[in-house]
Amino acid sequence: MKVLDLRCTHGHGFEGWFASNEAFETQLASGLVECPVCGDTAIVKLLSAPRLNLGNAKAPQQETASAPAAASSSSSSSNVPAAPMSPEARWMRAVREVLAKTEDVGDRFADEARKMHYGETQERGIRGQATPEQTEALLDEGIAVMPLPIPAALKETLQ
């Protein structure tokens, strides 16, 4: 089936459906093709615009143009610096570092700190639990201890 753009001598444009170009020529010669507006049978066939060819030519260009754009956008997103850390996040990270570098001695903290201070055991970073009285006693003996409030959320993951 052929769809032809046709026009009569009065300038009326219309579409004609024909089995083939030959069928159109035959019907035109027989005066069977007439303008639906004015009935004119002096019909000319217009060159149909190559719409489909234009569409096909554009499609690959869009694909090749969009492919590098997608790749560059995904790689640049990984280079985007992380959002500024919140004070809570900074504190959590600091605590994690301390925890990673220290040995957990639990409630033996006061004993271990005292042993290290008096050279009974090797100096190392330790952490643990101490009562306020134990902490005060250690400080009185010149043993440097530092209270480290650990965020509850981090505590739960450790225990």
Q: Which is nearer to Zn ion, 9 or 66 (CB)?
A: 9
- Under DSSP, the state recorded for 20 is -
Q: Which is nearer to Zn ion, 12 or 114 (CB)?
A: 12
Q: Which of 35, 43, 105, 145 binds Zn ion (CB under 5 A)?
A: 35
8 binds Zn ion (CB under 5 A): yes
**Ramachandran area for residue 130 (φ above 0: left; ψ -120 to 50: alpha; else beta):** beta
40 binds Zn ion (CB under 5 A): yes
Alpha carbons within 13 A on the beta-carbon side of 101: 9
First to last CA, the chain: 79
User: Whose structure tokens read 């902490």?
Assistant: 135
10 binds Zn ion (CB under 5 A): yes
Q: Which of 12, 108, 114, 117 binds Zn ion (CB under 5 A)?
A: 12
Q: List interacting residues with Zn ion (CB under 5 A).
A: 8, 10, 12, 35, 37-38, 40
